């Protein structure tokens, strides 16, 4: 009986591991292959600088939008990893999932992983305190506050994921590039509205994503999957 229970538990653990792996696929690049954010990004603004005054101004701007429809959008944008894709479907103009667009979905998942890692180096080095922790004020998403309280604020990983995905999607669906890039920009601004990032964190996140996407274009695996996604898009739009 005990052996049966143990086997069942082990099977469940393995199954959970498979689900987690599917939810967060490997990226195209290893960490060491990504551009070093410590080499090309400046340090986050000092609290006595004019740049930090702008961060504070934008923080208050974000707080003012929380009770509005834009605040609801910012809360919806707090999603992570593969769920980020769904926030871009309307701008892209068609579903992006494993059934409707399997090649694009595979591409997007791996790109999101690379974008998430693109900010790790600077995050871990600077360990900038998040605005809600610095000002000791609540956020738009209170259930995530304790989890992210000690996670570095600079650069914004959410922003890097949104902007990097937007750059890739805009390259595939050129006719909707403006809508896609607007969605990518606003995805980052949602982090300011939510109170989880300063504006300078978001700006740096976009730079990190742009550098990472540029590096992806030199990777053969990315190039092959991008071509598959473009061919899939051509077939779907031809119909």
- Catalytic sites, residue numbers: 158, 191, 197, 201
- Quickly count: other Cβ atoms within 10 Å of residue 70's Cβ: 16
> Radius of gyration over alpha carbons of the chain, in Å?
19
Is residue 149 within 8 A of residue 196, CB to CB? The reply is no
User: Which contacts of 131-140 are long-range, i.e. CB under 8 A and separated by 24 or more positions?
Assistant: 131/55, 131/59, 131/195, 131/196, 131/197, 131/198, 132/195, 132/196, 135/59, 137/63, 137/195, 138/195, 139/194, 139/195, 139/196, 140/66, 140/71, 140/74, 140/75, 140/78, 140/193, 140/194, 140/195
If we measure between CA atoms, which residue out of 215, 217, 200, 190 comes closest to residue 71?
190
3-state secondary structure of 130: coil
CA distance 22 to 214: 25
């Amino acid at each position: 009986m005990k052996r049966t229970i143990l086997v069942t538990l082990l099977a469940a653990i393995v199954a959970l591991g498979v689900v987690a792996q599917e939810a967060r696929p490997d990226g195209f690049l290893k960490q060491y292959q990504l551009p070093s954010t410590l080499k090309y990004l400046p340090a986050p603004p000092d609290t006595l600088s004019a740049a930090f005054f702008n961060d504070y101004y934008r923080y208050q701007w974000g707080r003012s939008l929380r009770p509005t429809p834009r605040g609801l959008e910012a809360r919806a944008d707090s999603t992570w990893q593969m769920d980020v894709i769904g926030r871009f479907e309307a701008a892209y103009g068609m579903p992006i999932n494993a059934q409707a667009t399997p090649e694009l979905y595979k591409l997007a998942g791996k790109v999101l992983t690379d974008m998430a890692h693109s900010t790790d180096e600077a995050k871990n080095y600077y360990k900038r305190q998040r605005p809600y922790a610095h000002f000791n004020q609540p956020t738009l998403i209170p259930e995530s506050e304790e989890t992210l309280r000690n996670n570095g604020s600079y650069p914004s990983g959410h922003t890097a994921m949104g902007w990097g995905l937007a750059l890739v999607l805009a390259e595939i669906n050129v006719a909707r590039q403006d809508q896609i890039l607007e969605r990518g920009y606003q995805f980052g601004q949602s982090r300011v509205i939510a109170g989880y990032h300063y504006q300078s964190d978001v700006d740096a996140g976009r730079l990190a994503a742009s550098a990472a996407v540029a590096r992806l274009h030199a990777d053969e695996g990315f190039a092959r999957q991008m071509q598959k996604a473009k061919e899939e898009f051509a077939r779907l739009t031809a119909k």
